[in-house]
Amino acid sequence: MIHVQDLKVDFGSHSLFGGLSFHVKAGEKVAVKGESGSGKSTLLHTLLGFIPQFEGHIEIDGLALNPSNIHEIRRRTSWVPQDLRFTVFPTVREMFYAPFRFKNNRHLMPRPEEMERIFHAFEISEDLLDRQIKEISGGQKQRLILAAAVLLRKPVLLLDEPTSALNVEIKNKITDYLLGLEGITLMAATHDEYFISKADRIINL
Ligand SMILES: Nc1ncnc2c1ncn2[C@@H]1O[C@H](COP(=O)(O)OP(=O)(O)OP(=O)(O)O)[C@@H](O)[C@H]1O
Ligand SMILES: [Mg+2]
């Protein structure tokens, strides 16, 4: 499903990955670990086509990562960035529904019962949607954005530090939920020991 061969990324003075190769099978759940600055976010950004100068070969869902395929690859992928300080959305509702308003995703608008199920699992209330972004906590925001990413039901889920703002009980519960998503190939950059211990496989940068 995700095939990476001899990957190298150069940022002027320094180079990352030094010829990294790995293969992630369909449905596998992979933790990407490594010290701060080791390139976890950069690896996800490369898979998303944000780092076009990479060296090596990348294939996602049978498509080589190149300018002609990137649109189709992104259509099959959902991504939660590490930095969730969005400034463009006035309300939580607009932030939550933003990915479903993209032209490619309009048909993926979640049904009320799907919303209810995941809000319950993530221990968040739908009332949060009526607030201003500054009126919710970092952990509530992280759970809302993860819920939206899951509800998109894309075959590939790329998560950058998905549980960094959560306390331990809810963090482990959400980790179990994410790792139990059937048929979805998941790669998460994480420092979290619980996530790392439960993942099918670890990529250590
Ligand atoms: N666009 C860029 N231009 C230049 N250098 C960059 C760029 N993006 C990342 N880097 C550098 O690449 C290295 C890896 O950064 P990256 O954000 O991928 O690390 P990380 O493993 O995700 O770290 P953290 O655990 O702190 O999130 C860092 O040294 C960073 O400064
Ligand atoms: Mg990072």
Instruction: Tell me the pLDDT tens digit for each residue of 154-185.
Output: 999 999 999 999 999 899 999 999 999 999 99
Q: Which ligand is nearest to the CA of 35?
A: 1
Give the residue whose CA is nearest to atom 5 of ligand 1. Answer: 11
Q: Give exposure, 53-88, as e/b (b: 16+ Cβ within 10 Å).
A: ebebebbbbeeebeeebbeebbebbbbbbeebeeee
Give the residue whose CA is nearest to atom 1 of ligand 1. Answer: 11
Residue at token pair 């530090």? 161
| 139 pLDDT more than 90 | yes
Give the residue whose CA is nearest to atom 4 of ligand 1. Answer: 11
Total domains present in the chain: 1
pLDDT in the model for residue 75: 94
Contact 42 CB / ligand 1 (< 6 Å): yes
CATH number at 151 reads 3.40.50.300
Q: Residues 6 or more apart from 51 whose CB is under 8 A from it?
A: 9, 42, 45
Task: Please identify, by atom number, the ligand 1 atom nearest to the C-alpha of residue 9.
Answer: 12
Contact 81 CB / ligand 1 (< 6 Å): no
With pLDDT > 90 as the criterion, what percentage of the chain qualifies?
92
- Show the domain range for 99: 2-204
pLDDT digits (tens, 9 = 90+) for 60-103: 999 999 999 999 999 999 999 999 988 788 899 999 999 999 88
